[in-house]
Amino acid sequence: MRMTETKLKGAFVIDVDRREDNRGFFGRMFCQNEFAMHGLNSRIAQANVGSNIRQGTVRGMHFQYPPAAETKYVRCTRGAILDIIVDLRPESPTYLEHVAVELSADNQRGLYIPERFAHGYQTLEDRTDTVYIVGEFYSPDMEGGLLYDDPRLGLTWPLPVTTISEKDARWALLDDIEPTLRRRMSIAQANVEHPSDSRAEPSPAIS
């Protein structure tokens, strides 16, 4: 794998080193040892799949608060997406900055997202599927989100939004929740012990 850190510390673009022959190619997309070498969390609590019917669909911007903050490793297995992440770590020099990465079935690229980041994407093609490897269980009481078109975030989506869930269209503006966001995303909260598996919701979030 080729792991390239983005301008947001701890967030990595992960490319597959392809070994090609007359059959096609073979490559590694995940390795606990390589993740550990780069200081990444390799814990897998859940693996989720998202299937999207229409081009222009937006899912996001999602996160979980500590102590259930989650890492995500996102890949696109059919079609293509523009994946956007936002740094929500109050102590970070890149707080509220974002990175956008195109992930597709063709480029086989993945994006590793640290804890305390918001995440979302827009589909660039009809019939687009994504896979998430998640480092923490879904905890409905720890779930949060930001509006995909919040002017404070300045996110640029390449296509008109054709489909979005009612919940994603109703997230509060950052101006309204930032004091709470900063408090709940603080290092002190992040260092609190994670909730036990017995408290976790067994089903995945509706992302």
- CA angle, residues 101, 203, 64, in degrees to nearest 5: 50
CA distance 80 to 76: 6
Residue among 135, 164, 162 nearest 148 (CA): 164
62 is catalytic: yes
132 is catalytic: yes
- Looking at 65, 112, 132, 148, which residue is catalytic? 132
- CA angle, residues 108, 119, 98, in degrees to nearest 5: 90
**Position 24, amino acid:** G
**φ/ψ of residue 40, rounded to 5:** -95, 150
Residue among 38, 33, 12, 16 nearest 25 (CA): 16
CA 100 centroid distance within chain: 11
**Position 202, amino acid:** P
Residue among 95, 101, 54, 93 nearest 73 (CA): 101
CA distance 59 to 123: 9
Q: Which tokens is 141 given?
A: 């009481």
Residues marked active site are found at 62, 132
